[in-house]
């Protein structure tokens, strides 16, 4: 017995989930078609309604497609859809009005075919080039007092096969419907048994589940708006209709928790989502990463169809997701240490308040990166850093050292030359200086060497200063991808539906794109080419006066 109860419970739960999913699909087609219709895209609206009917054989889709085609001026297609509606639902509450609409459209079509034609100006000039048909007359839409499209109303009972009566309010001054009493201003439009689906126009209706077996009467009012889907279910043992709750938000896919603020149970659904729920006080929690959660408390009466619309706002912070082409990146945000990323690790996620921030990234041997970056609210901004190696200063240091040595040698030779000059002048004054004194030539050579040392030292000093300042390499930069939503932990759960889960493998194009991106991020190290020469030389790594080579 326990196994049987469990199996029945599983079957009922599966049927309920299937019904909810089916109604969600019906509602999606109906609302999308209505939106297109309201936007004046009548042909597209008709196609959407036809798509809904192809998946779900409810006559309301056919009627709405007919209205959309009629609005677009396509009489033939409109007639086809209305005739299909009458065939699919011969006991529809408005069947007589639809017959009248079809008869009127057929009259319009016949009149259009019999309309005399007038020759065009071009035809008159060309002789008898043929008549041109006159423009078709406008199609009268308001054949049944309204041009609104139909809504679908699904009524179920537990147990099924209960007698069901539907009344429509036809007089604006009609009193509230009371079962068992006279009800002037209300018109009985249908008698059937549950479960059933009704195609109803805009207005107020009253549904009565008559006495059935040992069950009492159940009844409820319903206000029908154009192009909607309504779901009613009566629990005959309690004598009341269940309420229908639908939660939608400005963010599709937000998680809805019903009467579970602590989130101890699985989510009730994701927006937009609707399902039958018992009447009473309820509370919904709507949340999704990147947005502020919203709680809403409300009361549901028996049979009420309630739509709760929630507006979610972005949180006031976001993340920078940082990686780069250096071995180790040290990141500072607004001059405060924020984190360290190392090559081979996942990108570094850094939280910051939404808005502009000064981001500084340093790496050993690379130029610093510093720039104002705007952190998006409630999103993640991936940043790929391209840090350029610092330009080598070996040439500048070589020039500076050689220049200093040359200058020092010039000073030394200059001092030696002055000493020899003083000694020669002293010996000349004393009359002991001879004409072949080798100190004369030696002093001249020392003086020339001093001058050469000063010139070479000065030239190398200028060149080394230039090469210390010069930097032909670009500055470090970054590449920002399109911001992405926060990761949603609830979406990690597998939804296989009994099918095998496929593993995504990168395609050849993906691998090539990844390699190109890595090539973009990995700059070449600048090289200094050696040379052996004497004299000034300019190259990509610097300029200077080289004696024997550069280092």
Whole-number percent of the chain with pLDDT over 90: 37
**Residue 234 resides in a domain:** no
DSSP secondary structure letter of residue 327 = S
Note the pTM of the prediction, 2 decimals.
0.59
Examine the domain organization and report whether 421 and 534 are in the same domain.
yes
Instruction: Please provide the distance, in angstroms rounded to a whole number, between the alpha carbons at the two ends of the chain.
Output: 93
Of the ranges 5-9, 451-455, 518-522, the best mean pLDDT one: 451-455
Asked if pLDDT for residue 505 goes beyond 80, the answer is no
What is the residue range of 256's domain? 239-310
Q: What is the CATH number of the domain that holds 93?
A: 1.25.40.10
Examine the domain organization and report whether 418 and 541 are in the same domain.
yes
The alpha carbon of 369 is separated from its chain's Cα centroid by a whole number of angstroms, namely: 29
Looking at the DSSP bridge assignments, the partners of residue 309 are 248
> How do residues 375-416 score in pLDDT, each as one tens digit?
999 999 999 999 988 867 667 778 788 878 878 887 888 887
Given pLDDT bands bounded at 50, 70 and 90, which one contains residue 15? low
pLDDT of residue 549: 45
Looking at residues 259-269, what average pLDDT do you find?
Answer: 93
CA distance 36 to 480: 37
Residue at a domain's end among 286, 310, 334: 310
pLDDT of residue 54: 94
Examine the domain organization and report whether 441 and 536 are in the same domain.
yes
Residue at a domain's end among 386, 413, 431: 386
Beta carbons of 322 and 346 less than 8 angstroms apart: no
Structural domains counted in the chain: 4
3-state SS track over 39-98? CCCHHHHHHHHHHHHHHCCCHHHHHHHHHHHHHHCCHHHHHHHHHHHHHHCCCCCCHHHH
**Residue 403 resides in a domain:** yes
Q: What is the CATH number of the domain that holds 344?
A: 2.60.40
**Residue 24 resides in a domain:** yes
Examine the domain organization and report whether 324 and 279 are in the same domain.
no
> How do residues 172-210 score in pLDDT, each as one tens digit?
888 888 877 778 899 999 899 988 989 898 899 999 988
CA distance 66 to 82: 6
Examine the domain organization and report whether 456 and 541 are in the same domain.
yes
Q: What are all long-range contacts of 93-99, with beta carbons under 8 Å and residues at least 24 apart?
A: 93/166, 93/168, 93/189, 93/190, 93/198, 93/199, 93/200, 94/144, 94/189, 94/199, 94/201, 97/143, 97/144, 98/63, 98/144
CA distance 222 to 205: 5
Asked if pLDDT for residue 67 goes beyond 70, the answer is yes
The secondary structure element, H or E, covering residue 426 is: helix 394-430
Beta carbons of 224 and 202 less than 8 angstroms apart: yes
Examine the domain organization and report whether 282 and 336 are in the same domain.
no
> How do residues 297-326 score in pLDDT, each as one tens digit?
999 988 888 999 999 999 999 999 999 999
């Amino acid at each position: 017995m326990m196994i049987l109860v469990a199996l029945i419970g599983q079957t009922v739960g599966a049927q309920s989930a299937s019904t909810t999913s089916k109604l969600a699909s019906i509602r999606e087609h109906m609302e999308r078609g209505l939106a297109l219709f309201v936007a004046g895209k009548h042909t597209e609206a008709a196609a959407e309604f036809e798509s809904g009917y192809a998946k779900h054989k409810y006559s309301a889709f056919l009627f709405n497609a007919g209205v959309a085609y009629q609005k677009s001026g396509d009489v033939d297609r409109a007639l086809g859809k209305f005739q299909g509606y009458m065939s699919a639902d011969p006991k529809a509450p408005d069947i007589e009005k639809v017959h009248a609409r079809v008869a009127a459209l057929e009259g319009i079509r016949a009149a259009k075919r019999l309309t005399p034609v007038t020759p065009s100006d071009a035809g008159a000039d060309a002789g008898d080039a043929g008549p041109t048909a006159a423009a078709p007359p406008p199609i009268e839409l308001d054949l049944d007092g309204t041009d609104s499209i139909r809504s679908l109303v699904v009524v179920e009972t537990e147990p099924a096969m209960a007698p069901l009566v539907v009344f429509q309010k036809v007089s604006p001054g009609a009193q509230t419907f009371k079962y068992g009493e006279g009800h002037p201003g209300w018109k009985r439009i249908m008698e059937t048994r549950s479960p059933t689906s009704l195609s109803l126009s805009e207005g107020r209706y009253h549904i009565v589940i008559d006495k059935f077996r040992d069950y009492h009467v159940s009844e409820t009012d319903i206000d029908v708006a154009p192009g909607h889907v309504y779901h009613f279910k009566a629990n005959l043992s309690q004598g009341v209709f269940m309420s229908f709750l639908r939660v939608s938000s400005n963010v599709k896919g937000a998680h809805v928790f019903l009467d579970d603020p602590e989130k101890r149970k699985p989510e009730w659904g994701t927006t937009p989502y609707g399902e039958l729920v018992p009447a009473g006080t309820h509370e919904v929690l709507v949340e999704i990463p990147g947005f502020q959660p919203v709680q809403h408390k409300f009361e549901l009466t028996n049979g009420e169809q309630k739509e709760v619309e929630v507006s979610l706002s972005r949180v006031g912070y976001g993340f920078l997701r940082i990686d780069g082409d250096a071995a180790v990146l040290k990141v500072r945000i607004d001059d405060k240490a924020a984190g360290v990323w190392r090559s081979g690790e996942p990108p570094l996620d850094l939280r910051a308040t939404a808005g502009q921030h000064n981001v500084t990234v340093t790496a050993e041997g690379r130029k610093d990166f510093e720039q104002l970056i705007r952190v998006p609210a409630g999103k993640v901004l991936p940043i790929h850093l391209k840090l350029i190696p610092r330009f080598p200063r070996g040439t500048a240091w070589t020039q500076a050292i050689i220049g200093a040595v040359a200058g020092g040698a010039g000073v030394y030779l200059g001092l030696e030359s002055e000493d020899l000059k003083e000694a020669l002048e002293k010996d000349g004054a004393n009359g002991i200086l001879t004409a072949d004194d080798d100190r004369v030539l030696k002093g001249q050579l020392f003086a020339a060497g001093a001058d050469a040392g000063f010139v070479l030292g000065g030239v190398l000093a200028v060149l080394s200063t230039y090469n210390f300042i010069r930097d032909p390499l670009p500055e470090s930069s970054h590449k920002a991808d399109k911001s992405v939503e926060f990761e949603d932990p609830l979406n990690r759960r597998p939804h296989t539906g009994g099918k095998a889960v496929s593993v995504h493998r990168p395609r050849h194009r993906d691998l090539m794109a990844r390699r190109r991106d890595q090539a973009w991020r990995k700059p070449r190290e600048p090289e200094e080419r050696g040379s052996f020469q004497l004299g000034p030389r300019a190259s990509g790594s610097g300029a200077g006066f080289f004696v024997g080579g550069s280092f």
